[in-house]
Structure 1
Amino acid sequence: MCTVIKRQADNLKFLEDTRQHMSRLPSIDPDTRTIILCGFPNVGKSSFINKVDIKPFEALSEEDKQSINSIVQWHTDRQIRDPDRPIFVEMSTVTEVGLVTVRSVACDDLLAQRVQAKIRAAALPGSNVDISNRLYIAKPKPDGNKVMSYFFCR
């Protein structure tokens, strides 16, 4: 037994190093609502997260406007968007005006993507599949005069 362990020492050390490395990685739950905010260094990702005011589109430099418009053009080329739905949602992280709207839009988009993924995963070509039995819509009970919104869970 001791000889077998000695022969596998390099493999066991590799596995231990890999385990330690993976324990330092953040855990991501695929079933929670997640938004990935990415970009080059020093472009304001942390500022956005830390609630610093965002300039309105009209106040941006021409270079920033062109960058945003190219992203929007790329997105609209890939997916037909609802013409009534705004491409940009106005918000301020200082006054917190529009934060709920941004969150709602992001969650609605995420929900639509997940529903489409479930439909694609369950549907065979040419078949009509009802997935309503696999979706759950949480309907909060009224709590006094508070207005409560719906949340969709998988």
Structure 2
Amino acid sequence: MDRIDRAGRVIAASPAAVYGALLDRQALEAWMPPEGMRGRVERWDPRPGGGFRMILTYLDAADSPGKTSDATDVVDVEFADLVPAERVVQRAVFEADDPAYEGTMTMTWHLVPAGDGTEVTVTAVDVPPGIDQADHEAGITSSLANLASYLERAD
């Protein structure tokens, strides 16, 4: 089965502003963690072939045990392709002992002008089978809502 997880949202910010928030370390820490999590970037190299390592910590690990430890998900992300104000392609690998989380997931952030804002569509392929599709899409939707709040507040 060729699974594609996706979510989208129109954000009241220019494609350049959205692209900037995808490639700014402090911005990413602020908006990327979905509801119920906080994030910290350990390594940062925003160029094609570069990437980042993010530690995502569950605020309540009792309801959502992590992939890396009881309370955390650690993900290493490579920037596979960067097209200013149009697209960011990330290759993500979770640090986990469970083979259900093995593999490299590719997430593509598409940015398309939409009136005074930007339609942001995120697609994920090669998602590890241990990640539930509905939960993953809800997480992406939550991150997009955070991104919208972050950028719309900045204007």
**TM-score, normalized by length of structure 2?**
0.29
**TM-score, normalized by length of structure 1?**
0.29
Larger relative contact order (Cα-Cα within 8 Å, sequence gap ≥ 6):
2
Structure with the bigger percentage of strand: 2
Structure with the bigger percentage of helix: 1
Q: Quick check: which has more Rg, 1 or 2?
A: 1
